[in-house]
Amino acid sequence: MSDYRRNRVPGGTYFFTVNLLERRSRLLVEEIDKLREAVRMVRRKQPFHIDGWVVLPEHMHCVWTLPAGDADYAYRWKAIKIAFAKSVPKTERLSAVRLAKGERGIWQRRYWEHTIRDELDYAAHMDYLHVNPLKHGLVKRVVDWPYSSFHRLLEAGIYPADWAGDGEIEMDAGEAYGG
């Protein structure tokens, strides 16, 4: 059995990738309001700052900063996943293992977490998550993807409206992940 070790830095900033179990699903964008409500509900109980977030049809990337002294992002993800799963109809196929454990078949069990090391690492991960709709061929310009914090950061003057239009940003996952 794998020994998963997570890095926990109180008050840290983290990059996450969270996937649906069914990689051909469009559930996250089809039920975006339910996902947003699940996140709001968890943030009311266990606050965190959303630095950046992009929701794609079957996975999402985000950067969070936790409050000083707090490193419990695992509880937050568990609560978001549960709240979202409770809000959507039970239409997914369930394996015998998931049935026996009383689980839904919506989310992959694990998620990818990376502790942001410095400003350069932060900028690379923020760019990576925002360019993802373009990388996946969902839009021709990042600004055209509606389920992204890009719009908030555009209004704040952090990104220009034409950033990453027509594939001008070339970045692979290894770059963003420090590889």
Q: Which two tokens stand for residue 144?
A: 């055209």
Helix/strand/coil for 169: coil
Number of folded domains in the chain?
A: 1
Mean pLDDT by 10 residues, the chain (179 residues): 72 97 95 98 98 98 98 97 95 81 86 96 97 95 96 96 67 43
Is 31 contained in some domain? Answer: yes
**Do the domain assignments include residue 2?**
no
- 60 located within any domain: yes
Q: What is the predicted pLDDT for the residue at 140?
A: 93
5: in domain: no
Confirm whether 29 is domain-assigned. yes
Active site residues: 147
CA distance 156 to 52: 13
Give the pLDDT confidence score for residue 164 in this predicted structure.
84
Within a domain: 142: yes
Q: What is the pLDDT of residue 165?
A: 65
Identify the CATH number of the domain in which residue 62 sits: 3.30.70.1290
In a domain, 171, yes or no: yes
Whether residue 4 lies inside any domain: the answer is no
Phi first, then psi: what are they for 71, rounded to 5°?
Answer: -130, 15
* Helix/strand/coil for 126: helix
Domain span holding position 169: 13-176
Quote the pLDDT of residue 179: 34
